[in-house]
Amino acid sequence: MKKAQRIEWVRRAPLPLRDGVAPSRVYLPQGPWLNLRDFVLQRFPHVPRDVLLERLARGDIVDDAGVVQTLASPYRALGWLWYYREVPAEAHVPFELPVLFRDDYLVAVDKPHFLASIPGGRYLRETALIRLRQSLELPLLSPIHRLDRDTAGVLLFCAAPEQRGAYQALFQTRDVRKEYEAIAPLRADLVFPLVHRSRLQARPGHFTMQEVGGEPNSETHIDLMDTLGDLGRYRLRPHTGRKHQLRAHMSALGIPICNDAFYPALQAHADADDFSHPLQLLARSIEFTDPVSGLPRRFESRRVLQAVSGRQDGGA
């Protein structure tokens, strides 16, 4: 679904935003189900049966007209069910989310490590989007781009849904100048600055990316800014925006970013809520010409990477 369509159906949803969280919905296709109970149990096989039945019993699910659905409700194909997604035992991320800039159209923040950009998987309220919707009282705030949960730094949101496409187009046409900073090992045989190009694709059955043969679809400009003992402080300027591009490229060069739980190999603690070893990757700055105001924009993170000292949240 296109982002503009999603915003529109959120506006017209029979359930309001709840604590900044928009309702979710599921389509009711043609099928053999006689009652809603049987459909829900088959549609959500990974959710415990008792949880699903309890939500139906207490009236947490409604149809397009906002009518509460129950265990006895008949199945009506070609409609939608609306509900609030629940995430059990969501861990609190104990770091602040400073606002760097805000006007009627644009919000720039300095995201900490460990805070997801938007809801997904086991993260819902502990995300930058939901926090900002609540704290800024902007229920229709939407992301312009994303950062990995593990990455800190400058992140942009749109406060006016009708202008979101103009901001997103900047990223699609590569009219945004992004600069990252990373701390990683040194290699004496690498000469900087350098440009690394490769073809990245998803690793089958895994969350990470891998380099494969073929026409390159990713490009990163890398420079060594400073040395910190046996580590280096690097400036990374991605020309493309592939998933995990910077992490995969640094790993491929034999200088994986410090505290990376996924590259070059998955670490045992990758899924733990341990805030003591933040990934040493920071979205340092974003620069572009504002498509709405025509003004030059440059936003810079105030965070400092501190791999050697081991400070939490990259020094935030």
> pLDDT per residue over 210-240, tens digit each?
999 999 999 999 999 999 999 999 999 999 9
Asked whether the beta carbons of 160 and 104 are under 8 A apart, the reply is yes
Q: Which residue has the tokens 């992490």?
A: 247
Q: Look at 86-95, 129-138, 294-303 and tell me which has the smallest mean pLDDT.
A: 86-95
Look at residue 1 and tell me if it is in a domain: no
pLDDT of residue 205 exceeding 50, the answer is yes
Q: Report the SS3 class of residue 107.
A: strand
Q: Are residues 71 and 157 in the same domain?
A: no
- For residues 69 and 118, state if they share a domain: no
From 50, 83, 116, the end of a domain falls on 83
Question: What token pair was written down for 190?
Answer: 């690498």
On whether residue 51 sits in a domain, the answer given is yes
Residue 168 DSSP class = H
Within this chain, do residues 68 and 111 fall inside the same structural domain, yes or no? Answer: no
Q: Is 49 left (phi over 0), alpha (psi -120 to 50) or beta?
A: alpha
* Average pLDDT rounded to a whole number, residues 268-297: 88
Please enumerate in sequence order all residues whose Cβ is within 8 A of that of 152, keeping only pairs 6 or more positions apart, or say none: 110, 111, 112, 113, 278, 281, 282, 283, 301, 303, 313, 314, 316
214 and 244 belong to one structural domain: yes
Does residue 12 lie within any of the structural domains? no
Q: Is the pLDDT of residue 202 over 60?
A: yes
Q: Does residue 271 register a pLDDT over 80?
A: no
Give the model's pLDDT for residue 11: 67
Q: At residue 156, what is the residue type? A: L
- The CATH number of whichever domain residue 290 belongs to comes to 3.30.2350.10
- Tell me what pLDDT residue 121 has: 77
In this prediction, residue 103 carries a pLDDT of 96
- The answer to whether residues 159 and 226 belong to one domain is yes
Domain boundary among the residues 53, 83, 113 is at 83
Q: Tell me what the pLDDT averaged over the chain comes to.
A: 90
The number of domains in the chain is 2
Confidence at residue 269, expressed as pLDDT on a 0 to 100 scale: 57
> Is the domain of 139 the same as that of 179?
yes
With a cut of 70, say whether residue 302 has pLDDT above it: yes
CATH number, domain containing residue 74: 3.10.290
CB atoms within 10 A of CB 3: 15
Question: Is-cis flag, bond preceding 193, omega within 30?
Answer: yes
Of 313 and 307, more confident? 307
Token readout for 117 is 């950009």
Instruction: State the Cα–Cα distance between residues 63 and 158, nearest whole angstrom.
Output: 30
pLDDT at 67 over 70: yes
pLDDT the model gives residue 313:
46
Which stretches of the chain are DSSP H helices? 3-11, 36-43, 49-57, 128-135, 164-172, 245-252
262 shares its domain with 204: yes
Domain, as residue range, for 237: 99-315
The yes-or-no verdict on residue 7 having pLDDT over 60 is no
Residues 161 and 296 in one domain: yes
Residue 7 lies in a domain: no
Distance CA(122)–CA(216), nearest Å, equals 33
Q: How confident is the model at residue 10 (pLDDT cuts 50, 70, 90)?
A: low
Contacts 24+ apart (CB under 8 A), 92-97: 92/126, 93/126, 93/275, 94/275, 95/275, 95/312, 95/313, 95/316, 96/316, 97/128, 97/131, 97/132, 97/135
288: pLDDT strictly greater than 60? yes
**pLDDT cut 70: percent of the chain above it:** 91
Dist CA 86 CA 186 (whole Å): 44
| In a shared domain, residues 237 and 137 | yes
Check residue 309 and give its pLDDT: 42
Let me know whether 125 and 238 are in one domain.
yes
| pLDDT score of 16 | 85
